[in-house]
Structure 1
Amino acid sequence: MTRAAARPQGGHELLLLEGTREFFPALIAAMDAAQTLVHFETYIFDFTGSGAELAEALLRAARRGVQTCVAVDGLGTGTVPAEWQQRFTEAGLHWRVYSPVNALALLLPTRWRRLHRKLCVVDGHVAFCGGINVLDDFHDPSWGRLEAPRLDFAVRVTGPLVADAQQTMALLWRRLQAVHDLRRREPLQAVQDLLRDGGQRGAGAPPGPSGARAALLLRDNLRHRKRIERAYLKAIGAAHREVVIANAYFIPGRKLRNALVRAAQRGVRVQLLLQGRYEYFMQYHASRPVYGLLMDAGVEIHEYAPSFLHAKVAVIDGHWATVGSSNLDPLSLLLAREANVVVEDKAFAQQLRERLLRAMREEGRRMEPTHHGRRPWLQRCKENLAMFVMRLALFVTRKRY
């Protein structure tokens, strides 16, 4: 069992990064300093604006002989522009696609499983984890130019969990490489790669008594099916004073709803920062039927107004925090590959808490129970339709939520 399944341990240095304006420079600096390996995973890789700057950093690393491996999701990223494909090939950059999609593939529930985590390891020494795609903060592929930046977070980490990130990324890469080799009719090499050990440990700092306590939590369809959800449930269940959650696609299942309600009923202040702008039909409308239940129990709901909310973070009692890729919805918690960093450190938690509370205070709109109860019948119809679509999808995948 890897430390990704263990409790947080000490010896970590953490840096909270907000948006691509902080995340990309830190990532590019690490890539430009790389000597042996850049291993990168993302759901969306978009080449607009600052996304192209990150792609250039990957090219620079590959050209100077650094092993540069990039894995993207077939649905989230789609087809890479021909110009970039050629440049990647000429530089020697290794690019693999997780579960390529077509019209027929989308009809198969097993192909709905996506690579949604955002991870990067450089030289086995530093790791990045969060919810930020390679997507300019002021650009959206569906909605175009944004007036305000998308709100999202990532964390830069050095310490023991870097080895866990490298190991899990190496294992997935070997599977993708095996599929790639099979398609190129190189079955012997593919089998050898597939059966090889899951990856060598990186050169992350060893555990130590100092530094923040942290752990990498994974969600997949094999050994870690409910790891992230259980971490949320445990932390909320142990809360004494405060629960602060910011989540883009918030469609909590029964266990999570009950945990939030019980926390509020025992006097814990529960504050949620949720999506206030329409982005996707099901995720936007299916979340709203549960608002009334939560607000009746005393949960505060704030909707982020300036732009799209894409964060998947939480702070509990000012010392427990998580930053990652996992939404609190069925797709993330039942189907997608996700990665979250869980932190037990007052300084880090306080920094994230202050940013979330400021967003609620200055950039959010608090939802009032009476206003929510008087929403128009057409809105309720959309909510019921979205909930029906979600439940139908879960029925087809034979998942319970």
Structure 2
Amino acid sequence: MSNNWVAGNHLELLENGEAFYPRVFEMIRAAEREVIVETFILLEDKVGEQLHAALRSAALRGVKVDLMIDGFGSPDLSPAFIEGLTSAGVKVRVFDPGSRLFGQRLNLFRRMHRKLVVIDGLRAFVGGINFSADHLMDFGPKAKQDYAVELTGPIVSEIHRFVLHAIAVGGKGPGWFRRRLKAARHEERAPTGTADVQFVTRDNRRHTNDIERHYRAAIRTARHRIIIANAYFFPGYRLIKEMRRAARRGVDVRLILQGEPDMPIVKVAASMLYHHLLHAGVHIYEYCERPLHGKVAVVDDRWSTVGSSNLDPLSLSLNLESNVIVRDKDFNHVLAGRLNELMRHGCKQVQTSELTEWSGWRLVRSFFIFHLLRWYPRWASWLPRHAPRLKPLEAPPEPGSGATQTDAA
């Protein structure tokens, strides 16, 4: 992506599945030409079934529908679920499906972690919300707190081009890509608002650290406040250093992290950084009502980001991610208000006095953490890099037809 600011956009913040799913399904039902969905997790629960019904209905009325799921995040969809889509004309593709060894999935690294929806090339959804019922409050204590945005305006052209290119690189080729772009309308370039937006991605080739660089640049230039809400927090040394420097020069730096994590190791890893951050003046809040799954931030009164990228080694050094960076006072105000509400009513602030570990052990541990944070991006680069591979799934053949399921493209 160009990483240039694109002016004239409108954004709506969507908090949790209660706001996100109805809006996405409504727009899919209203689609006239094209629906493209990328998601890390798609489950066969009530949310997955609603997406299934919306995509199937759109395809049956002649809309081009493409669905990309991740082979690690969505490994257990039934043949009947897939057949219900493909038989209606939905193109279903799996990103790097992996075989299992003794029932265990081994394809953990370099996953397609993006969550993107593009409707008719005119409207896009970007965020951290998967298509699964655990993003709804009625799921119970393990329901996830998360965010996404709905975008209209010229930035949607870049997002649309990106998702089409992802399909083409996975096997369709440049000719298909050019034809799909040519078929797109040009009204998508009309301004719809006043927000400047960048669509920023992370991959394992040309854009290996773009999202982290945007975070660091925003923190480095912050003057008044920084609020970061991030589910999986174990960033690299340079980002930690910028946060500490900002707090020491008087910026109000606040972190919202998991207090009731979906995986215990998440809190353990983040808490290993508490000494470094608290003693520099960073304020840490643990969200304790249920698991935090958000990946959002605001800096001062204009800069914001919403997306799929955590601030941990997987997201910053391995996975395929996407965020929007927003420069707009109104959107910043809305997101900051939601995060302040979260801190007031759902968080416990961590105090320096609560850190009572033996100082000798803390010194040794700090030494190892420092060097881990400093060097893990380089270590991550040693892991195998492979070209993205999309496996298209087709409807099972009719009995006696002699057809076979399509192999990897």
| TM bucket normalised to smaller | 0.7 to 0.9
Deviations 1:137-173 (A, max 9, x none): 4579xxx942364110000001111111111111111
Confirm whether residue 153 of structure 1 aligns to residue 147 of structure 2. yes
Alignment counterpart, residue 200 of structure 1, candidates 181, 197, 200: 181
* 1-structure distance, mates of 2:80, 2:366: 42
Deviations 1:39-71 (A, max 9, x none): 010000012123321221111111111111000
Alignment-derived partner of residue 70 in structure 1: 67
Are the equivalent residues in 1 in contact too, given 2:4–2:198 (CA < 8 A)?
Answer: yes
Alignment-derived partner of residue 29 in structure 2: 32
| SS of aligned partner of 1:278 | coil
Q: Choose 207-216 or 310-319, whichever is displaced more.
A: 207-216
| 1:163/1:209 CA distance change after superposition, 3 Å | closer
* 1-structure distance, mates of 2:361, 2:242: 30
Are the equivalent residues in 1 in contact too, given 2:135–2:145 (CA < 8 A)?
Answer: no
Matches within 5 A, 1:37-116: 37-103=34-100, 112-116=109-113
* 2-structure distance, mates of 1:320, 1:349: 6
Confirm whether residue 365 of structure 1 aligns to residue 348 of structure 2. yes
* 1-structure distance, mates of 2:43, 2:371: 32
Paired letter, 1:127: A
| 1:396/1:271 CA distance change after superposition, 3 Å | closer
Alignment-derived partner of residue 18 in structure 1: 15
* 1-structure distance, mates of 2:250, 2:371: 33
Are the equivalent residues in 1 in contact too, given 2:121–2:188 (CA < 8 A)?
Answer: no
Alignment counterpart, residue 293 of structure 2, candidates 310, 329, 336: 310
* 1-structure distance, mates of 2:335, 2:198: 17
Are the equivalent residues in 2 in contact too, given 1:72–1:96 (CA < 8 A)?
Answer: yes
Deviations 1:271-326 (A, max 9, x none): 11001123235433222211110000111111111111000000010211000000
Q: How far does residue 103 in structure 1 lie from its aligned partner after superposition? A: 3.6
Paired letter, 1:73: D
| SS of aligned partner of 1:91 | coil
| SS of aligned partner of 1:355 | helix
Q: How far does residue 206 in structure 1 lie from its aligned partner after superposition? A: 2.3
Are the equivalent residues in 1 in contact too, given 2:33–2:120 (CA < 8 A)?
Answer: yes
Alignment counterpart, residue 398 of structure 1, candidates 378, 382, 388: 382
Alignment-derived partner of residue 279 in structure 1: 262
Alignment-derived partner of residue 220 in structure 1: 203
| 1:115/1:371 CA distance change after superposition, 3 Å | same
* 1-structure distance, mates of 2:154, 2:310: 25
Alignment-derived partner of residue 157 in structure 2: 163
Confirm whether residue 265 of structure 1 aligns to residue 248 of structure 2. yes
Alignment counterpart, residue 238 of structure 2, candidates 255, 263, 274: 255
| 1:398/1:321 CA distance change after superposition, 3 Å | same
Paired letter, 2:66: C
| 1:380/1:146 CA distance change after superposition, 3 Å | farther
* 1-structure distance, mates of 2:94, 2:87: 18
| SS of aligned partner of 1:234 | helix
Are the equivalent residues in 2 in contact too, given 1:323–1:340 (CA < 8 A)?
Answer: yes
Are the equivalent residues in 2 in contact too, given 1:48–1:139 (CA < 8 A)?
Answer: no
Matches within 5 A, 1:289-304: 289-304=272-287
Alignment-derived partner of residue 347 in structure 1: 330
| 1:70/1:340 CA distance change after superposition, 3 Å | same
Q: Choose 385-394 or 315-324, whichever is displaced more.
A: 385-394
| SS of aligned partner of 2:35 | strand
* 1-structure distance, mates of 2:227, 2:300: 9
Paired letter, 2:32: Q
Alignment-derived partner of residue 316 in structure 2: 333
Tell me the number of residue pairs that the alignment of Structure 1 and Structure 2 aligns: 377
Are the equivalent residues in 1 in contact too, given 2:10–2:193 (CA < 8 A)?
Answer: no
| SS of aligned partner of 2:73 | helix
* 1-structure distance, mates of 2:19, 2:232: 23
Are the equivalent residues in 1 in contact too, given 2:219–2:226 (CA < 8 A)?
Answer: yes
* 1-structure distance, mates of 2:242, 2:338: 24
Q: State TM-score, norm by structure 2.
A: 0.84
* 2-structure distance, mates of 1:240, 1:378: 35
* 2-structure distance, mates of 1:97, 1:381: 44
Q: State the identity as a percent.
A: 35
Confirm whether residue 173 of structure 1 aligns to residue 167 of structure 2. yes
Are the equivalent residues in 2 in contact too, given 1:245–1:315 (CA < 8 A)?
Answer: yes
Alignment-derived partner of residue 396 in structure 2: none
